[in-house]
Amino acid sequence: MCAKLLTLPHQKHEFANFYRYYWFFSYKSDSIDMEELLLEQCNGTFENYLKLVVILFILSMNFEDPLLLRWIGEQYYNAKLDAELFVTMTKTLSATRKEINYLHSQLKSADPKMMIYDFNPLRKKPIVLENEIMYLPVPQFLFSAITKGFYHTLCDRIPKFREKFGKLVFEKYVQHVLRWKTPDYEIIPEFEYYIGRDRLDSPDCILVKDNNVILLEVKATAPSIQLSATDIENYENQMTKAYGVAISQCIKNEEHIRKGKLRHAKLPHQIDHFFYVVVTLEAFYAFERKIIEDAVAEKGCMLAKNKCYHLMDVATLEDIVENDTRSFFDYICERELEERVFSSFPGTDTNKKNPFRERRSVKYVSSIIDEIVGSMRK
């Protein structure tokens, strides 16, 4: 069973998300308690939901008959969770056939060109529940429902959650990832600086190696669910918010550093090259440079014709830091200096060295699988 479960990441890479979302949904600080928010909005902790979906996935692979909700709770979850809590969490991931059809009608596109991208409601509600009988049309959607699905649920239900999450959680996670290996570069987190009486923020992260500098902007941006039921113009508008703002910030911060308005003890006096990197929560695809140039122009900046920029989602950042033989800084330098920035997607030219099973996210979920499989055998 473990072997069957571990084949899933090679198809959809769902396991690669688990460590990240465990970190997100367990994060606590004086300003935000993600575990408490998840409990309030989704009725359980991330680890309990992960155990739940592993059990349901295993059962879906081994039983041809419909799954009875309360029987599963009593038979397989007593040792780990109260049966009533099991039922509550399962219903959080469930909808009736009528509700699924309604959700699809609300999200389907009126634009024939975009209909192929219609959002499947099963990605948020992967269990069809009718008269206490569970149906799992696409069992793999159990995994995306408790990661990306829960994130979008919190965004929908909590005012300004995306902004708070980006500043208080996501930026911290990106810095956490950059330190997975002992870096051969300095990491300068965001700090305040002043120009006259105006208080400004430095880039979300500055990386320094020798006389080169990476200005790294972090945006907790993901293509919204509504994009699956929209047109290309709205897609570009959302992408503009993600990348146009970030790159214009890089341009302004480079100018402030060169003019001595933005100073830090770890910044070199003479800087040979500035690299621009934007890390988003999820990736946007299929866009042209002109869209970025226009978005930057709207912010009052100009992107030079020969200036490169590196756009990637956090999954790509994780892959580079954890698996590439080069440091993240060297990866960015080589990709730009060898002029591969716009000829291939980031992450496609990584020098992978760690087997998939050795990655931290897979190790994390494998320990959960071993625990569940062991208890089910008993």
Helix 46-62, helix 83-92: angle, nearest 10 = 80
What order of strands is seen across the sheet that includes strand 186-189? 186-189, 205-209, 212-219, 273-280, 310-313
Instruction: Please name every residue paired with 273 in a beta bridge, in sequence order, or none if there are none.
Output: 212
Q: How confident is the model at residue 36 (pLDDT cuts 50, 70, 90)?
A: very high
For 180-216, the pLDDT digits (tens) are 988 899 999 999 999 999 999 999 999 999 999 999 9
Instruction: Please name every residue paired with 218 in a beta bridge, in sequence order, or none if there are none.
Output: 279
Q: What is the pLDDT of residue 80?
A: 52
Q: DSSP secondary-structure letter at 158?
A: S
Q: What is the pLDDT of residue 223?
A: 61
- Given a contact cutoff of 8 angstroms between Cβ atoms, the answer to whether 95 and 135 are in contact is no
Q: What is the pLDDT of residue 75?
A: 61
pLDDT at residue 1 greater than cutoff 70: no
pLDDT at residue 62 greater than cutoff 50: yes
Q: What is the pLDDT of residue 378?
A: 57
- Report domain extents, the chain: 2-158+358-377, 161-347
Which alpha helices (DSSP H) does 93-137 contain, by range? 97-107
pTM of this prediction exceeds 0.85: yes
Poorest-confidence range of 123-132, 200-209, 218-227? Answer: 218-227
CA-CA distance, 26 to 160, in Å (whole number)? 19
Centre a 10 Å sphere on the Cβ of residue 54 and count the other Cβ atoms it contains. Answer: 21
> Between 148 and 115, where is the model more confident?
148
Q: How confident is the model at residue 74 (pLDDT cuts 50, 70, 90)?
A: low
Q: What is the pLDDT of residue 115?
A: 66
For 353-364, the pLDDT digits (tens) are 777 777 888 888
**CB neighbours of 269 closer than 8 A, spacing ≥ 6?**
none
Q: Domain 161-347 falls in which CATH fold?
A: Restriction Endonuclease (3.40.91)
- In the structure encoding, which two tokens stand for residue 69, read together? 């909700």
Per cent of the chain over pLDDT 70 is: 82
pLDDT at residue 49 greater than cutoff 70: yes
Q: What is the mean pLDDT of the chain?
A: 83
CA-CA distance, 267 to 280, in Å (whole number)? 25
- In the structure encoding, which two tokens stand for residue 13, read together? 């890479």
pLDDT at residue 306 greater than cutoff 80: yes
pLDDT at residue 5 greater than cutoff 50: no
Range with top average pLDDT, 66-75, 94-103, 291-300: 94-103
- Given a contact cutoff of 8 angstroms between Cβ atoms, the answer to whether 86 and 93 are in contact is no
